[in-house]
Structure 1
Amino acid sequence: MSLTLFRESYLAAVRTKDYKSLASLYAADAIRKSPGQPDRIGVTQILEHYQEWQGTFADMQLADRILFLKDNVLIAVWGWKGRHAQSYMGVEPSNKEVGLIAASLFWFDSDFRVTKEHTYEDPYTLLIQLGVIDDQGRAVPSLTEPCEIYDCKTLKPRFENLAKMRRYNELLLSKQLQPWLDCMSDDIEWDDQMVPGLAVGKEHSRDDFVMLAEAFPDASINMTNMWSVGDFVIHQGIFTATHKGPLKGIPASNRVVNVDNMDIAYFDGDVIRKGWTFGNTLDMGSQMGMGK
């Protein structure tokens, strides 16, 4: 089986709720991780997740937007939408249509069975769409965009971009604003799925820099995985910091947060021209004491 064939089989099984076929795609001791949720360990628990998810959101549709194929790893940016048919996080069924853009990573054994799945999605966005949180958020996504596929078999890795990504993070953490901004094109577009919309231009980045420096003066990033596929760098990292200053109206809690995020950066020469971020807003808020 190839990575593309796996993805086709996976989507077909999820769309048709063919859980027997879905189970055959996972190793017996596979692990599913998603920030803010308990790990699902073994095929039985992983299938329970899918059954619960598709029971909560009926008439579900799924579509891929970007696929990165890298040796024994598949990285997917994808969208889903469905009808709120069962209770979700204490919210009674509303029959409203909701949906997200998410990112998933799959690692495989030699038989092309999944050994680990790591999915990033933002439930805060769903609560906004359901009307239980009064805040700006993402609309239910369109699933009509064509899927872009980037395969390391035809795209040579640009390892120098891995060094540029590390430098980008180092400058952010050491609070060197101008050198950090110089890592970006003037018309940079950053698509953070945890904020209401696309950020265009360096001014958005400047504002974010100042906000993060004030809120988390001791921040660090543990870069757990980085891949180069053509001009793209895909980066998983754990952001660790003490919440010592206000953050979007949330007063300092002096709590330590550990936030698991995934970034994708597209390099145009020496600068980042496009970027994407995926994570869980509720997970971070909970660690800062929100809702307690």
Structure 2
Amino acid sequence: MSAAQATSNKATFSRFHDATNTGDAEVISKTIDEVVEPNVLFHAPVPTGATGAQALKQVWAVLLRAFPDIHVTVEDVIEEGDKIVSRNTVTGTHQGEYRGLPPTGKSITYNEIFIVRFAGGRIAEIWGVVDVFSQMRQLGAIPA
């Protein structure tokens, strides 16, 4: 893969990440349409029966409903070949239903790691590990 393509992948990743931090479901959805393959393979716990880009849009709809002020801080980005690895810290305030829990008003901080594979300049595959245990513990669903 060329250095230009790698730079392009990083720019695409940044664009997607910037969109997620707008807190605007419309902007996120539109950006997903532009930078993510419609049939993206999504290897992460998704709370829906959807697949591909539709599943990714639904994940963000659920997160924004639960945590309207959700913010993802990228701590590390490692690039190798056609993949980008991102280690993130996520913060938000629980103001809407999430995984069956009514809003608690609690602020949460949790970590996640994603590996994103690119094909033809678009996101083609995503693997994610999200610290859901920490989320649930902070929301009071699991005893501390």
TM range (shorter): 0.7 to 0.9
In 1, the alpha carbon distance for the partners of 2:47 and 2:74 equals 26
Equivalent runs, 1:277-292 vs 2, <5 Å = 277-292=128-143
CA gap of 1:197–1:228, structure 2 versus 1, over 3 A, is farther
Q: Which runs of 5+ in 2 are unaligned?
A: none
Could you tell me how far 1:221 is from its partner in structure 2? 1.3
Query: What TM-score do the two structures reach when normalised by structure 2?
Result: 0.85
In 2, the alpha carbon distance for the partners of 1:197 and 1:230 equals 31
CA gap of 1:236–1:253, structure 2 versus 1, over 3 A, is same
Identity %: 20
Supply the AA of the counterpart residue of 2:12: K
In 2, the alpha carbon distance for the partners of 1:240 and 1:200 equals 26
Structure 1 position 237 matched with structure 2 position 88? yes
In 1, the alpha carbon distance for the partners of 2:117 and 2:93 equals 30
In 2, the alpha carbon distance for the partners of 1:199 and 1:165 equals 22
Match among 115, 125, 128 for residue 274 of structure 1: 125
Q: Which protein has greater RCO, CA pairs closer than 8 Å, 6+ apart? A: 2
- What is the CA RMSD across the aligned residues, in angstroms? 2.1
Structure 1 position 217 matched with structure 2 position 68? yes
Supply the AA of the counterpart residue of 1:249: G
Query: What TM-score do the two structures reach when normalised by structure 1?
Result: 0.44
Q: Which runs of 5+ in 1 are unaligned?
A: 1-154
Could you tell me how far 1:262 is from its partner in structure 2? 0.2
Post-superposition CA distance 1:171-211 (Å, at most 9, x none): 1221212123321101111101x458996322212211211
Structure 1 position 178 matched with structure 2 position 26? no
Structure 1 position 262 matched with structure 2 position 118? no
Aligned length: 137
Post-superposition CA distance 1:105-149 (Å, at most 9, x none): xxxxxxxxxxxxxxxxxxxxxxxxxxxxxxxxxxxxxxxxxxxxx
